[in-house]
Structure 1
Amino acid sequence: MRLAIDHHTRYRFSSPQQRLVQTLRLTPGDTHDQTVVDWRIDVDCDVRLRDTIDGFGNRVTMLYAEGPLTEIAITVAGQVLTTEADGLVRGSNEPLPPELFGRTTPRTVPSAALAELARASAGAGDALDRLHRWNLALATRFPDAADLPDSGATAAEAFAGEPDARDLAHIFIAGASALGLPARYVSGYRNCGEGTCPPHGWAEAWVAGLGWVGFDPSAGISPDANYVRMATALDFTGAAPIAGIRQGAGIEELSVALQVERMNGEA
């Protein structure tokens, strides 16, 4: 499948900013089932861009801008070829051992109630079956989870409330931890069939003998050819599409517009 992505992000500042440094995890990497055909990042003001690879193996662009800045717009556009892999992640850049992802962060520590549901839902059997049952249990318990801006909620906090799609990824990871299985957060894009598709987040878990396998608890499925992987980390903080610091007073206003569309014809 050939997916066309058009992603616009604009920051407006109530007071001029003297300096801006941002980490852009906005460039997908190639795998056996995901090939970047064309990709570019454009900014509407004078900036310095430096491409690098972070410790998780993600492609990263560092953005440096000198002020005064009252607003800045970042546009990402490109095309990606994807193939169906039943959720398997093959040929990705993996500089870290899977055991590292057995660690929890403050956002992925399971509460007693969350861990109890994970164990009860997963049941017995091999790891892959247990993870699929846990994934489906979350989709059933929290249907129609929306793609919303990151709230900063922990898995335990979100589990006790009304989680969004990113929260469900953290809850899945926390449950996998309770099951003794390494898991991580994934940020990326999803073709939702309606043109306008907010940035999405899901999870991957390590299954011995298979490798990394994707799970999207907001849909109860493993990611298919409609998904584009951008970045992975222990939680959203390490895989956020845009993160950074600014030097200047005031508040910022963020607006995001994203379209993910399937192009006509099969590649």
Structure 2
Amino acid sequence: MKLRIVHQTVYRYDRPVRNLVQSLRLTPSVCEGQRTHDWGIDVTGGIRGPGFRDGAGDWIEGWTVRGPTEEVAVTVTGRVETRDTAGVLRGHRELIHPLAYLRDTGATRADAALKDLAASVADAADSLDLAHRLSAAVSEAIAYVPGQTGFHTTAAEALAQGSGVCQDHAHALIAVARRRDLPARYVSGYLRATTEETAHEAAHAWAEIHVDRLGWIGFDPANRCCPDERYVRLGSGLDASDAAPIRGIAAGQGAETLDVAVNVEEVERFQSQSQGQTQS
């Protein structure tokens, strides 16, 4: 599948801010199943700083905006060619040992209800089967309902409410997988919806679980599937905050508001060859 992505995040401040520093994890992963044909990142008034690939294999680059400014827009445009790998993450170079992803965070810490949900899933023949069963259990326990949770909602809170969005599904799956001694992590990216029944947001999130012999495999409880050619992977972390595509800090006391617009569309063919390949 050939996808064109436009992603704009606009920050507005009620008072001018200075010396805004941002860390951007907004470049598609280098792995089998997706090939970046061109990719551009622009920050209004921004100065691009150094970039590096972290231990998780994600490309991170720094930007600064000296200001003063009351508005900053981060705009991403690019084209990615994808194919279905049945959710298996192959060809992705990283240094962090999978066991590091057994560590809980505030967003993924299991309360009594999450522990009960993890325990309710029957033992399986292997870790892959268990991972599928855990993902299905989360899909049943948490309905996809936009607007009822926020960025700081925890897995425990989403389960208690019985509804949430893709972030909540990912956090809950991570929590129950870790309770069953399966390393699990949060993944940020994009999703192209191909049917009206697909529950999604174009800026999407899912979980990866590390299973024996296969390595990292993606699971999307919000859509009851493993990532396929509709998905574009950006980066990963212990939870949504750790994997956030944009992190930043600014000097000033202005209150911040945020607007995000994402469009992922399928195109028949790319009219030009790659001009800005992802850094390796």
What TM bracket, shorter-length normalisation?
Answer: over 0.9
| Cα drift, residue 151 of structure 1 | 2.1
CA distance in 1, matches of 2:270, 2:255: 45
Distance 1:145 1:133, change over 3 A: farther
Shift of 1:50: 2.5
Runs of 4+ with >3 A deviation: 145-150, 193-198
Q: TM-score, normalised by structure 1?
A: 0.93
> Could you tell me which residue of structure 1 aligns to residue 170 of structure 2?
169
| Partners of 1:15 and 1:73 in 2: CA distance | 16
Does the C-alpha gap of structure 1 residues 135 and 25 become closer, same or farther in structure 2, counting only changes over 3 Å?
A: same
What is the correspondence of 1:189-204 to structure 2 with a 5 Å cutoff?
189-193=190-194, 197-204=201-208
Cα displacement string for residues 230-264 of structure 1 (whole angstroms, at most 9, x for unaligned residues): 01111111110111111111211111111001111
1:122 Cα offset (Å):
4.5
- Using structure 2 for the length normalisation, give the TM-score: 0.89
Unpaired stretches in structure 1, ≥5 consecutive residues:
none
Q: Which whole-Å CA distance do the structure 1 matches of 2:258 and 2:203 have between them?
A: 14
The aligned runs of 1:232-247 (5 Å cut-off) are: 232-247=236-251
**Are 2:186 and 2:205, in contact at CA under 8 Å, matched by a contact in 1?**
yes
**2:264 is the alignment partner of 1:260:** yes
SS at match of 1:156: helix
Change (3 A) 1:263 1:197: farther
How is 1:55-70 mapped onto 2 (pairs within 5 angstroms)?
55-70=55-70
Partner SS, residue 143 of structure 2: coil
The equivalent residue for 1:77 is 77
Which position in structure 2 is the counterpart of 1:179?
A: 180
Q: Secondary structure at the match of 1:238?
A: coil
Answer yes or no: is the 8 Å Cα contact 1:197–1:260 preserved in 2. no
**Cα distance in structure 2, aligned partners of 1:265 and 1:218:** 29
Give, in angstroms, the shift of residue 206 of structure 1. Answer: 0.4
Aligned residue number for residue 124 of structure 2: 124
The aligned residue for residue 5 of structure 2 is: 5
| Greater alpha carbon shift after TM alignment, 189-198 vs 85-94 | 189-198
* Higher deviation after alignment, 50-59 or 89-98: 50-59
Structure 2 unaligned spans of 5+ = 272-280
How much does 1:194 deviate? 7.7
Distance in 1 of aligned mates of 2:110 and 2:158:
11
User: CA deviation digits over 1:31-51, x for unaligned, max 9?
Assistant: 111111110101222423332
Shift of 1:53: 1.9
CA shift for structure 1 position 24: 0.8
SS of residue matched to 2:241: helix
Q: Say which is worse superposed, 255-264 or 147-156, in terms of deviation.
A: 147-156
Distance 1:137 1:62, change over 3 A: same
Structure 2 match to 1:21: 21
